[in-house]
């Protein structure tokens, strides 16, 4: 018997939208302010998963310049009908205070790899939109309704409206079909139809440690919806000892072997309640009871770390290369940019073959134009390494290795210019938006410099090497719990990234050349 080991998508891969087309399985996940938009993983066996594509690759599809931290792409929904893949997504422009500006769009493609269409605007009434294809051919959009008024329930229910493929817009009246349960914070809707019932699956309790999956059903698309008498059908809330915390925001698939699986969001804390890897995706094996309710295999409603795989032959996949030598003219699929596309005005893999050239732009606190290329941290034990050639002329020019959560929280081993020392090496830590320098006396360097970060759960140690000599420690052992959703008094939703970046705050666009980028998982946490 083969087993599935959770999480299946490790590190910042939240809000899974689970889809089967024939014998192929896909999961789309949120990417927030990182570009390109939406990650799609593929599997043949539900055990082994491969990142295969990002549908939103053009600024015309996704313009996030200026988007706030933890804005951008929330909770995509991937479906298939009429020979087309449909992707619904939200671009969140504001999310703090009373209001939320949440613009919902649709793109389509006949092939999962694209090309994906230009976006069709749908609405802005709330977030977590999902498209349901009914048996009669009609299509319905459901989404969470946001109510900003004082004294109201901000999570005002799940609304439904018809989508006309011919007119390429929503048509008819909007109707509120479900106000939620006493778990509150009702969001993440998905509709399914089985044995004459419409099943409405929602996320409730908020996306933190009170998170849950709720189920309700109705014989009518428009309700009223009867809540599962044993609701919630999945949650981690009652067991702090579970490996998989925050279980919620789920999506359902029946395999081609007639078995049922649920993809859901989860988190794994490293210390206290801090999840430095962000919110991840796990699978649960589920079944339908005789009276028509969904249950988790294993006897209770908690997420399981290891579950039985379906009756499908194992399809192994290739492992991801540890070291990127930058020999291709395109960025590795695992590398991302922040808010903006990778265009030739600031990034090149061709100007100096075999090197990634980044031209310095704005600071690490900018929500507009940063010269930053990074990948998800997906293990608790990782070594990250690069070699950089950079000749700064003044202190406003910096380049190096960054461990990044968002504009308020990051740690940066960087080369810059000091008036007394010349080219030198230091560490900047920004914690809850407060700038600090962790190396009291910068270290003078020359020529190309190798930089390394060693991460062991919540602890980070930086190293450097000159002229191919031994690695030398620089700076203290740093606690990186602040690189997590749970840190601070503000709500946020992403995860830790590791990568390289360049800043030129003078506007001169001084460039740095990176010879390679190595990401090595030392031990599975």
Looking at residue 36, which CATH number applies to its domain?
2.115.10.20
| Per-residue pLDDT tens digits of the chain, which is 525 residues long | 899 999 999 999 999 999 999 999 999 999 999 999 999 999 999 999 999 999 999 999 999 999 999 999 999 999 999 999 999 999 999 998 999 999 999 999 999 999 999 999 999 999 999 999 999 999 999 999 999 999 999 999 999 999 999 999 999 999 999 999 999 999 999 999 999 999 999 999 999 999 999 999 999 999 999 999 999 999 999 899 999 999 999 999 999 999 999 999 999 999 889 999 999 999 999 999 999 999 999 989 999 999 999 999 999 999 999 999 999 999 999 999 999 999 999 999 999 999 999 999 999 999 999 999 999 999 999 999 999 999 999 999 999 999 999 999 999 999 999 999 999 999 999 999 999 999 988 999 999 999 999 999 999 999 999 988 899 999 999 999 999 999 988 899 999 999 999 999 999 999 999 999 999 999 754
In a domain, 396, yes or no: yes
In a domain, 315, yes or no: no
Domain check: are 452 and 492 in the same one?
A: yes
Contact 20, 4 (CB under 8 A): no
In a domain, 313, yes or no: no
Q: Which of 308, 342, 360 is the last residue of a domain?
A: 308
In a domain, 317, yes or no: no
Domain check: are 297 and 327 in the same one?
A: no
Give how far Cα 390 sits from Cα of 103, 264, 374, 470, 473, Å: 40, 43, 18, 20, 20
In a domain, 385, yes or no: yes
Domain check: are 174 and 126 in the same one?
A: yes
Domain check: are 373 and 513 in the same one?
A: yes
* Total structural domains within the chain: 2
Domain check: are 361 and 240 in the same one?
A: no
Does this model's pTM top 0.85? My answer is yes
Note the pLDDT of residue 440: 85
Q: Beta 294-296 vs 472-479: how paired, if at all? A: unpaired
**CA pair distance 15, 33, nearest whole angstrom:** 15
**CA pair distance 94, 69, nearest whole angstrom:** 9
Q: Beta 356-359 vs 511-523: how paired, if at all? A: antiparallel
Q: Which of 274, 308, 342 is the last residue of a domain?
A: 308
Domain check: are 415 and 304 in the same one?
A: no
Contact 127, 142 (CB under 8 A): no
Domain check: are 378 and 450 in the same one?
A: yes
Q: What is the CATH number of the domain that holds 517?
A: 2.60.120.200
In a domain, 269, yes or no: yes
In a domain, 448, yes or no: yes
Active site residues: 15, 187
Domain check: are 327 and 417 in the same one?
A: yes
Domain check: are 157 and 222 in the same one?
A: yes
Domain that holds residue 294: 3-308
């Amino acid at each position: 018997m083969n087993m599935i080991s959770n999480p299946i998508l490790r590190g910042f891969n939240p809000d899974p939208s689970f889809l089967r087309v024939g014998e192929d399985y896909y999961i789309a996940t949120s990417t927030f302010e990182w570009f390109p938009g939406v990650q799609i993983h593929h599997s043949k066996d539900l055990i082994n998963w491969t990142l295969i594509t990002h549908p939103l690759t053009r600024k015309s599809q996704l313009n996030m310049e200026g988007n706030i931290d933890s804005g951008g792409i929330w909770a995509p929904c991937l479906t298939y009908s009429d020979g087309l893949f449909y992707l619904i997504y939200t671009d969140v422009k504001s999310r703090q205070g009373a209001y939320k500006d949440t613009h919902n769009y649709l793109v389509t493609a006949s092939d999962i790899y694209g090309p994906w269409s230009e976006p069709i605007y749908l609405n802005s009434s709330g977030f977590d939109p999902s498209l349901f294809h009914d048996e009669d051919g009609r299509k319905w959009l459901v989404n969470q309704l946001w109510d900003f008024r004082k004294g109201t329930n901000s999570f005002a229910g799940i609304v439904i409206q018809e989508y006309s493929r011919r007119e390429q817009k929503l048509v008819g009246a909007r109707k509120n079909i479900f106000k939620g349960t006493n778990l509150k914070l009702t969001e993440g809707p998905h509709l399914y139809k089985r044995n004459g019932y419409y099943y409405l699956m929602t996320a409730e309790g908020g996306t933190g440690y009170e998170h849950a999956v709720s189920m309700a059903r109705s014989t009518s698309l428009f309700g009223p919806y009867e809540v599962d008498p044993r609701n919630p059908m999945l949650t981690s809330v009652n067991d702090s000892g579970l490996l998989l915390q925050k279980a919620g925001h789920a999506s359902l698939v029946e395999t081609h072997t007639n078995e049922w699986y649920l993809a859901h969001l989860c988190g794994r804390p490293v210390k206290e309640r801090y999840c430095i890897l962000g919110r991840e995706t796990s699978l649960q094996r589920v079944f339908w009871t005789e009276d028509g309710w969904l249950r988790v295999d294993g006897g209770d409603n908690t997420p399981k770390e290891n579950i039985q795989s379906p009756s499908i032959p194992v399809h192994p996949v290739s492992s991801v290369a540890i070291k990127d030598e930058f020999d291709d003219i395109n960025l590795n699929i695992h590398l991302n940019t922040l808010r903006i596309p990778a265009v030739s005005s600031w990034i090149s893999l061709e100007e100096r073959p075999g090197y990634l050239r980044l031209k310095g732009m704005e600071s690490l606190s900018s929500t507009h134009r940063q010269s930053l290329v990074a990948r998800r941290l997906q293990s608790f034990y990782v070594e990250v390494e690069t070699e950089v050639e950079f000749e700064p002329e003044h202190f406003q020019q910096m380049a190096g290795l960054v461990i990044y959560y968002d504009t308020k929280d990051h740690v940066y081993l960087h080369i810059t210019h000091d008036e007394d020392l010349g080219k030198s090496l230091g560490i900047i830590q920004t914690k809850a938006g407060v700038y600090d320098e962790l190396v009291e006396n910068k270290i003078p360097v020359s020529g190309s410099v190798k930089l390394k970060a060693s991460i062991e759960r919540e602890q980070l140690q930086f190293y450097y090497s000159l002229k191919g000599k031994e690695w030398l420690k620089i700076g203290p052992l740093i606690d990186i719990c602040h690189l997590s959703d749970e840190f601070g008094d503000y709500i946020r939703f992403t995860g830790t990234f590791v990568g390289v970046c360049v800043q030129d705050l003078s506007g001169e666009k001084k460039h740095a050349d990176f010879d390679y980028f190595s990401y090595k998982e030392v031990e599975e946490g």
